[in-house]
Amino acid sequence: MTINANPAVALQYTLAIKQTDHQLITVTANGVNYTKDVVLPYGTTYTVAIEPAEGYNAGELNKTSGTITGDETINATPATLATATITITLSLIHI
């Protein structure tokens, strides 16, 4: 009797990171930071952070963490201009 076996193949999947203007999405997996698409092994856990450019508010991420079980995409809604409200109170003094 002859038994043949093929070597085990680690499943690898693409984690697509879709950047948009005025913010930076960073995925951290196994202690390494990624800002562009990356291929990771099945079962890899990751976290996601987003940092707005100066003068902007970051958009909302579609995921903040996960485990690789197939191809996935990370994206965010568009960044928005930061705004501020300034209130000026005038006081008149009569002499």
pLDDT tens digits, one per residue of 63-85:
999 999 999 999 999 999 998 88
- The model scores a pTM over 0.85: no
Return the pLDDT at 53: 97
CB-based burial, 25-61: b 16+ in 10 Å, e otherwise: bebebeeeebeeebebeeebebebebebeeebebbeb
Helix (H, G, I), strand (E, B) or coil at 66: strand
pLDDT at 95 over 80: no
Decide if 27 contacts 46 (C-beta within 8 A).
yes
